[in-house]
């Protein structure tokens, strides 16, 4: 099924003429849209309808004919729509948002005996439900930019009235709606994980408790319940528990410890097999809560472009990881450091346009006052030791200032006139390379001299930019299509310490996203804590 992205009014009218319409226009339908022009809400069965503008364009184009009816009866497309509403639950959408209960109740009655008003009510409920469901499948139920200024979504701009006309003309409502969901394999894998978790919502899920740490080899009455829970969560194969006695054993054996370590790794915990408070808290999250978490992350996929790029960089803030993808396959994965909670890394997509080797770092004024000034006050040699130059003024006319001539104790946010620029070198906060995609957030990817931080499980230490673990590997991958930039030449440039910008011949998409749940390359469900409390 294909349809054009945009359709003009004349083309929409021609398409509407192909619909299996009732033979006569509805005067009641016309009057309702006339009332809408006069400022009254568009109503059906005493319910206000949401998709008023596309509905108005659709029905004006088709001459106010009933599009869901044939010879006084509802077409089969009405039932296809209801089936699609039920199926949307698999993506975390709720049929009640599309008038499903009312539609099901009204469609169960004899439509031949319906008054014209009742027919128009049912007609409008079906069309409004279709358009709302189509919008949610293709673009998401929520516009994140209205609730989070640090989140920029990619809106697809579906032509919803044309979509409705095309679906009815081709008698293919179900297929048209199914084609709107994200096509990314990761989205499908997350849907499958949701199905499994949804099946567990009928299982009892009592809290697992222990007043002490439990280590492999110890005895604990927690073991039978832990063993059962890990089987349900598929971290322990049921066939591996070979007897009823094994299932009820209170010994924390190596097999069970290995299964718990798998669980811990999937939840971003230290995979040490030790049962402590963090592990118990993760085990006690109910399947119902996990389903909600998965629904939130399925929604986030609907905010992304339908095509991420033939090759692209993908950063997951909550997962602290970067992936480099080529032709649908992961070529590289790295750990990353992201913004602290009070300096959150924003969510958006852009294109990496150039790399800058041995960069200088011009400290943003806010960070100069909040972060650098307290350090300078405590240590008079701080600026010199870390390779900073101090300038008064901006641009070509700026003047170099001797830091020892400044009374740093007297400066505040209101009277701080200086610009701090850190020169290239081993202490430079940006490391040896930065990856630039100019954006309104002033965020980019870069190296860091603080290598020890990558060993931490939670890596929210930056001021908003993304620090990557092996930046030269990424630089080599991005420049791989340029025969002039081999790895030895890159290494020579870095060793020289010269600042140089290198443009990419073809800008590479970069998607900085936020997922607390995803399915990895092996199909394993990965779950992480909500770093910035964005799931709500």
Q: Would you state the pLDDT for residue 408?
A: 93
Instruction: Look at residue 499 and tell me whether its pLDDT is greater than 90.
Output: yes
Comparing 114 with 362, the larger pLDDT belongs to: 362
Question: pLDDT confidence of 6, banded at 50, 70, 90?
Answer: very low
Contact between 88 and 62 (Cβ < 8 Å): no
Comparing 295 with 380, the larger pLDDT belongs to: 295
Q: Residue 316: which residues within 8 A CB-CB, separation 6 or more?
A: 322, 323, 513, 514, 515, 518
Mapped to the 3 state alphabet, what secondary structure does 457-495 carry? CCCEEECCCEEECCHHHHHHHHCCCCCCCCHHHHHHHHH
Instruction: Look at residue 13 and tell me whether its pLDDT is greater than 60.
Output: no
Tokens standing for residue 101: 């209960």
Q: Residue 380: which residues within 8 A CB-CB, separation 6 or more?
A: 404
Q: Residue 174: which residues within 8 A CB-CB, separation 6 or more?
A: 80, 81, 83, 84
Counting Cα atoms < 13 Å in the Cβ hemisphere of 276 gives 9
Q: Would you state the pLDDT for residue 482?
A: 74
Q: Would you state the pLDDT for residue 20?
A: 45
Helix, strand counts (H, E) of the chain: 19, 19
Task: State the virtual CA torsion across 340, 342, 345, 346 in degrees, nearest 10.
Answer: 170
Q: Across-strand partners of 400?
A: 391
The string of pLDDT tens digits covering residues 79-95 is 999 999 999 999 999 99
For 66-70, 193-197, 320-324, 478-482, which range has the lowest pLDDT when averaged over its residues? 478-482
Q: Would you state the pLDDT for residue 243?
A: 61
Q: Would you state the pLDDT for residue 43?
A: 92
Question: pLDDT confidence of 52, banded at 50, 70, 90?
Answer: very high
Angle at 135 between CA 129 and CA 140, to 5 degrees: 125
The string of pLDDT tens digits covering residues 212-221 is 999 999 999 9
Question: Per the confidence metrics, is the pTM higher than 0.85?
Answer: yes
Counting Cα atoms < 13 Å in the Cβ hemisphere of 523 gives 6
Q: In this structure, are strands 525-527 and 460-462 parallel, antiparallel, or unpaired?
A: unpaired
The string of pLDDT tens digits covering residues 161-200 is 999 999 999 999 999 999 999 999 999 999 999 999 999 9
Residue 466 and residue 446: Cα distance in Å, rounded? 6
Instruction: Look at residue 374 and tell me whether its pLDDT is greater than 70.
Output: yes
The string of pLDDT tens digits covering residues 226-278 is 999 999 999 999 887 766 656 788 999 999 999 999 999 999 999 999 999 99
Instruction: Report percent pLDDT > 90 for the chain.
Output: 79
DSSP secondary structure code for residue 455 in this structure: G
Residue 431 and residue 411: Cα distance in Å, rounded? 29
The set of catalytic residues is 446, 465
Which three-class secondary structure state does DSSP give residue 120? helix
Q: Would you state the pLDDT for residue 536?
A: 84
Kindly state the average pLDDT of the residues 338-349.
Answer: 94
């Amino acid at each position: 099924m294909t349809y054009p992205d945009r359709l003009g009014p004349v083309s929409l009218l021609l398409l509407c003429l192909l619909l299996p319409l009732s033979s006569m226009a509805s005067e009641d339908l016309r009057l309702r849209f006339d009332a809408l022009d006069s400022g009254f809400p568009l109503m059906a069965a005493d319910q206000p309808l949401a998709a008023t503008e596309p509905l108005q364009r659709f029905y004006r184009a088709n001459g106010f004919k009933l599009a869901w009816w044939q010879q006084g009866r509802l077409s089969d497309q009405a039932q296809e729509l209801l089936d699609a509403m039920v199926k949307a639950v698999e993506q975390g959408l709720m049929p009640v948002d599309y008038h499903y209960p009312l539609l099901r109740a009204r469609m169960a009655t004899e439509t031949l005996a319906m008054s014209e008003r009742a027919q128009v009510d049912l007609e409008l409920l079906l069309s409004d439900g279709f358009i709302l469901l189509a919008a949610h499948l293709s673009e998401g139920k929520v516009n994140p930019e209205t609730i989070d200024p640090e989140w920029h979504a990619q809106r697809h701009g579906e032509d919803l009235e044309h979509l409705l006309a095309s679906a009815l003309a081709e008698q293919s409502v179900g297929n048209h709606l199914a084609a709107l969901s994200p096509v990314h394999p990761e989205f499908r894998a997350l849907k499958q994980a949701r199905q499994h978790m949804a099946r567990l919502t009928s299982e009892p899920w009592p809290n697992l408790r222990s007043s002490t740490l439990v280590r492999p080899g110890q005895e604990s009455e927690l073991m039978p319940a832990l063993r059962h829970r890990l089987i349900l969560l598929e971290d322990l194969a049921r066939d591996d528990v070979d007897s009823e006695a094994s299932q009820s054993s209170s010994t924390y054996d190596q097999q069970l410890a290995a299964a718990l370590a798998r669980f811990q790794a999937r939840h971003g915990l230290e995979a040490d097999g030790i049962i402590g408070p963090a592990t118990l808290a993760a085990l006690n999250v109910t399947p119902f809560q996990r389903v909600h978490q998965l629904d939130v992350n399925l929604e986030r996929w609907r905010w992304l472009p339908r095509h991420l790029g033939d090759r692209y960089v993908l950063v997951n803030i909550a997962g602290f990881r970067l992936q480099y993808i080529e032709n649908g396959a992961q070529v590289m994965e790295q750990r990353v450091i992201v913004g602290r909670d009070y300096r959150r890394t924003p969510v958006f997509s852009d294109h990496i346009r150039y790399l800058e080797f041995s960069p200088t770092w011009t400290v943003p004024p806010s960070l100069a006052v909040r972060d650098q000034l307290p350090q300078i006050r405590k240590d008079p040699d701080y600026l010199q030791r870390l390779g900073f130059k101090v300038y008064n003024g901006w641009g070509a006319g700026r003047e170099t200032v001797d830091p020892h001539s400044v009374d740093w104790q007297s400066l505040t946010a209101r009277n701080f006139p200086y610009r701090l620029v850190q020169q290239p070198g081993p202490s430079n906060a940006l490391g040896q390379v930065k990856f630039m995609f100019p954006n309104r957030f002033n965020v980019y990817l870069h190296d860091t001299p603080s290598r020890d931080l990558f060993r931490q499980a939670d890596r929210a230490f930056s001021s908003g930019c993304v620090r990557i673990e092996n930046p030269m590997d990424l630089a080599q991958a991005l420049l791989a299509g340029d025969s002039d930039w081999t790895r030895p030449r890159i290494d020579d440039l870095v060793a020289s310490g010269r600042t140089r910008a290198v443009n990419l011949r073809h800008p590479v998409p970069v998607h900085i996203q936020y997922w607390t749940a995803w399915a990895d390359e092996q199909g394993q469900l990965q779950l992480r804590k909500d770093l910035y409390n964005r799931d709500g």
